[in-house]
Structure 1
Amino acid sequence: MSFQETLQHKINTKTKPLGSLGYLEKIAFKIGQIQQTTSPTLSKPAILVFAGDHGIVNSEPVSPFPQEVTTQMVFNFLNGGAAINVFCKQHKIHLKVIDAGVNYDFGTTPNLIHAKINKGTNDFSIAPAMSIEDCKKAINKGKEIVTKQFAEGTNIIGFGEMGIGNTSSASLLMSTYTQTDISNCVGKGTGLNNDAVRVKTAILKKTQNIHQNITDPLEVLATFGGYEIAMITGAILQAKELNITILVDGFIVTSALLAAHAMDASVTDNCIFSHCSDEQGHSKMLAFLKADVILNIGLRLGEGTGAALAYPLVQSAVFFLNEMASFESANVTNKLS
């Protein structure tokens, strides 16, 4: 028997009807395959939240919230008051917050990972969001942060983000990487009404027209991305390199995954998709990546909250694989012959 057949046999011969644990069985198989063992373990689960500002917010009405909310939310994360703090505490997930490019000088603020490339991106409706060099710096910083987390014992990781305006970046990245019309990529973000969504779509369409014929994956990321998205891209690439299981969050994180996937299509081999966001483009991203999700409960908060909420079900998949009796060990008749 091949390793895959041995792993599937172990799943199939647990004391249950064949396939009756549904998607949990696929999760168990995937984690076993990633770790190349029929008895996988989950070690020091972590969610890294990357924060960055976007220049487009200062000149165009793409968000109902002002840019300073990014800074305010970073302090909220550090003070333990955000949804991601609550869910990580509940599920015993290690949480770290990273300044990837916030338009604020945090000085020596404790418990914040200081990785700032610049104080926000350029306004991409005028010029590329960042230089190729700065985009590479952000990618490498994301790789470095994941390498350190891996050295601390983490073998399953999720990523979250905070950045007012970053659904605009994610929409442009999605449109470019998946060749989807921008009107099918733009959603309500942090709460735009239908009229405001139409305005946002027009702004992003104009932006695309300014930056035509960009196909190189790195150049696409530098043109439309944010520092937090670029760092997550690097973090995903490094997590795959280190064979860490990646628990993918929602719309923004999946836009970073699209960038990583354009650079290395094998990254999805290590991905488990936590949920389908209520942001309209996310289901189309997931379809492009041929991804199944654990949860579909109308989330569109970001921060890594979907990953945190899905983690207990990933735990359950590993627990049943390791601890549930087999028909043979429990002396239960498998089926009538």
Structure 2
Amino acid sequence: MTLTITDENYHAIVRKLVADDRKVSKGVNGQNLPAKGDGTRVRMCFVPRQGFVFIGADLGQIEPRIMAHIMYSQYGDNSMRQIFVEGVDLYTTMAMMTFNLAEEYCVDKAVDPTGRFKPRALMKTGVLAVSYDQSPQSFAKKMDVTMDVAEFFFENFNRTFPSFKRMVTDIREGMKRNGYVETLYGRKRRFPDYKRVAAEVAKSEQRRIRLYTERKRLNAKDRKSEADMRRLSEIQTELDVLRDQAGLVGYWERAAFNAVIQGTGADILKMNGNRMARICKERGWEMNASIHDELLISVPRDQLTPETVELVNDVMTRTVSLSVPLVTDIVIMERWMDEHKPEQWDFENCRPKTKGDDALSQQ
């Protein structure tokens, strides 16, 4: 029997699933294995079936590409999309546009002409800061820059990418209005308690102000009685509860935007994975894992050809079409994390190229 999930029956179905104590094997959670430090050592313990070799392919900068697509398709703003169309470095170009600086000051680790900040690093973190409605004061502290640099960034970012903040605001307002947000492909993330908790936070605002005032008055006393100390403890306990409620509202508002952007990226990878799984089944390959924005498959060594790599590239970049080009980084691995780019691979002998191979190819 096929069950259709709707807004009306969603919560009843979730409650039934939560109450179901049957255990279903979910396989290995490869997403919890870090790609750095000791996680690398664990990942390198994974090897393909004998006679096979891994191919890994991930989506390059998929989240800013989705943002650029929304800004272009829904608001007619080509400012970020054009960067991807031209195929140049995203954050270097954004920094050049935002700070009106030459490229030499905006490449990785470069410092602006005054020596006060690193434009590319500021840009990379700044996109998240604008997404999360961070204040210039908080941004200045986080990035260890002066207030004038932080304010300069926010002012110029909003002017350079005029629909970015509107996109964030519209997504959040939609969540507040509807109780959910949707990815570009219609998958919903619901926030069923947002309206109730947000109303409680708004209602308690005056109460919170009175508590802060009372705490300030008690703390100003040179000598505090036991009753004063008890009251201070009570005030702090109540303020902690109110702060947690307000924090939850802020978290849900940030999560609403993330759910659209990251959720759309997850949808794209699922569609890529579905197509890849069908190809693997047809050709006798293996679909091994989907990890964050990466697919990991294994193919027989005698089928590892440039055409195979191009097919993987086609799956990752052309299964879904956006107004921005999609890109992928493909690596060939005899064990997980032992990565070789296709141009570093000797397809004829099915092994990594050596310096000797390069020397022979130049003769």
Structure 1 and Structure 2 fold alike (TM over 0.5):
no
- What is the TM-score with the length of structure 1 in the denominator? 0.26
Higher-Rg member (1/2): 2
TM-score with structure 2 length normalisation? 0.24
The structure in which a higher percent of residues are helix is 2
